[in-house]
Structures are given as structure tokens and as C-alpha cells.
Structure 1
């Protein structure tokens, strides 16, 4: 019986915070099989996500954090599919900046397990880029969905409100770099990487205040 697989959809829009707005391309990750899926970060374009999901049942819309570019399409996607929106409670303040009249449907908690197509994904609370930032680890797929916590080449940005550099470094070093080296890191923007490729650079990031 085929197991869960990983699909990537790239959508384009804007990221806004602290009075600035930037054009961005986001990775929307779809995890599941021919019957059911979850969506990780419903970014920008609900129509595109609905098309990518197709006739499959959407079990959940998982938000790795609540910056607007990762959640702007989540309420519409939920309304069209009936899937609940899941977010860590520490990011509710950020969520309300984008969606003041609609709250998430359920909380993500550290250590929680999400199941789709017979595959478990463990929620890892990894604050730093945002207070409620989480990653999802699927050992069966040798995959980590890192949101904006870890990218190919370094940590996510911490130069804006609600973020903190020492905190993101602690999250990465204690929670993510402890995973197997062959774990593929599926990021919120840009290319994938692996834990093994990023781990040797931890001291470099610290020295540079990356």
C-alpha cells in the first residue's frame, strides 16, 4: 500500500510586518496520499492550494507560525474545505494582526502527533523567528518541515518584532540539529537542505550573529 508523500506548491504574495512590505515566494507543503492530506502553511492563494489538493480530503491546515505570508489564505481554505486551522497559541498575537475576526480552530502543542495517510508528524515548538513557531518532524518520511526556523544556509530572520536571535539558535541547536543527519529540511521559502548540511555551521552562525 503506497504511503504518504510530499508535494510542494510555490505561491507568491507579500510579507508585511513593522510597517514594511516585501514580495515573497512561499513553499506550501502538502503531505498525504491519494485519499487524504494536510497542508502546511496556506500561503497567498487558496485557489492554487485547492487545485493542488484536488479531490482528496484535507484533514488539517497547519501553520508553522503566524506571519501573514504563511496564514493569509488559511481562513478561505478552511471555509472551502472544512479543514481546521491549527496554530501554536504563542502566535495568536501575530495571527490577529492578519485575521482579527477569525481565530484558529485548535492549538498546536509541543510533542503533539498529527496523523495523515498512516504517517505521523510530531510538532516541535521552535520559537525564535516567532514566539509560536513550530516545525513538523516526520521520521517515516525522513522529513522536517521547518517553516521559517531553518533554511538552506542558516536560521530564519530575527530582526523584526516578536523574534529573538538567541532563542532561534537554541531552538535549532537543541531541537533540530539533534535529528538524524539525513533528515531533509523542507523550508518555508527557497530550497530544501538537510540537517547534516546545516549542523556544521552552528558556530559560524553564532559568530556572525546571523
Structure 2
């Protein structure tokens, strides 16, 4: 089966998920919390039915309805409170294994009361049934932020960036110049420097984009400092 062409990535809190069917993997994107409008992504292996949820951000009932309570893994992209408010409820309901970037694992555990079962870093992999995602550690927005890339053997890569990369710029570094330099350096070298222009990326809030659409603006982002 080829990739479906109806997916846009445009979702809103309270609305239905947008669904992308790849040959081996189904991606469901849903927004939760009207104020923060966090994106959550459910990835399902088409061969085995195994599932990975990226960011249990809020509204556990919505997420459990999406997963069908058949969830093997929850990956948290970073330690900020708005990305893991439903983590405890999701884990209690499903028994899913928890994953986070090593530097952010303890803060997430302290904030949620949920132990992080697996701490990951650059080059580690996370299996979703027969599919595999690779971890890219991207410090700057938080010390342990991670992005996850699925190198679709039948198409282009799919990159889940948390709050490290958005259409129009990198994530917020809250006026910390050193953190901004670290973030844009790592995004430029680890993301734009290793992945092709047709990589579709899925951020923690708002709409999606491709690396090709954003690449011409890297120097502009660096110059403006945010």
C-alpha cells in the first residue's frame, strides 16, 4: 500500500485525528487542550498492531480512545509539563513502557510520579512492532529533548520533533542565548545535516512541514536569535 495523500496535519483540540497510512506504519495525529494545543502522535505497526504514543500530553480519555488501550510504549519528547500531563493515567490504564531522553528522565519522573523505564540518547532505537524509530538527541529547548525519525523504506523519512523544531523556527529557549545557539547548532547538524528535504516533520504544537520548506531559512533563524 502506498502512502495516503489525504493527510494534512491540521488538527484542533476537540476535533478528530488526522491519519496517515504508510506501507508499514499508521500515524494518527490528535491535538489536546484548547489552550496549549499539544500534538500527540499514535504510531501503529500495520503488521503486528503494536503501538507507540509520542507525548501523553493531556486528556487521557481522548488518548485512550485513540489507542484502544492497546499500547506498548509511550515516548515523552521532553520534560515540559504540557507534554506529559496524561502520562500517569495512560501508563496505569495500559501498562505501557515509558521512554524519554536521559537528561530529562528524572525531571519527568518527579513531575508525573511515573518511572521512566528506558532512558535513551543519540542513535538508540525504539521498536513499534516491525517498524523502528531512531532517536536524535537535541539539547537546547531542554537538556534531554529527543526527536524520533522513522526512515520509511517505501517513502520519505518522518520526523517527530517535539518542541525542538517548528515550521518557521526552532523551539523557545526563553531568552537564554547559549541554549539558543546549542539548539540551532544541533538542529542544523543533526537534523538538516543528516536528513533529506522530503523529510516530513511533526512538531509538538501546530501544523507540520518538511525540511526542504524550512532549510532556506536556517541562516535567518540564526541571525534573529530565536
The alpha carbon displacement at 1:203 in A equals: 0.7
The alpha carbon displacement at 1:102 in A equals: 3.1
Determine whether 1:54 maps to 2:75.
no
The structure-2 alpha-carbon separation of the partners of 1:54 and 1:191, relative to structure 1 and needing over 3 Å to count, comes to same
Counterpart Cα distance in 2 of 1:54 and 1:156: 32
TM superposition outliers: structure 1 runs of 4+ over 4 Å: none
The alpha carbon displacement at 1:5 in A equals: 1.5
CA contact (8 A) 2:45 2:130 kept: no
Determine whether 1:194 maps to 2:210.
yes
Q: Which residue of 1 aligns with 2:181?
A: 166
Residue 45 of structure 1, aligned match among 59, 62, 86 = 59
Q: Which residue of 1 aligns with 2:128?
A: 116
CA contact (8 A) 1:4 1:118 kept: no
User: Deviations for 1:29-74, whole angstroms, at most 9, x for unmatched residues?
Assistant: 011135221000001111111100126x311000110101111111
Secondary structure at 1:164's aligned position in 2?
helix
The alpha carbon displacement at 1:188 in A equals: 0.5
Secondary structure at 1:38's aligned position in 2?
strand
TM-score (normalised: structure 2): 0.82
Counterpart Cα distance in 2 of 1:45 and 1:133: 22
Determine whether 1:152 maps to 2:173.
no
User: Deviations for 1:134-176, whole angstroms, at most 9, x for unmatched residues?
Assistant: 0001111620000000001100000068x81011101110111
Counterpart Cα distance in 2 of 1:7 and 1:40: 10
Structure richer in strand, relative to its length = 1
Residue 6 of structure 1, aligned match among 27, 39, 45 = 27
Q: Which residue of 2 aligns with 1:30?
A: 42
**Unaligned stretches of 5+ residues in structure 2:** 2-22
**Unaligned stretches of 5+ residues in structure 1:** 14-22
CA contact (8 A) 1:10 1:28 kept: yes
TM-score (normalised: structure 1): 0.88
Counterpart Cα distance in 2 of 1:196 and 1:5: 23
Counterpart Cα distance in 1 of 2:53 and 2:175: 26
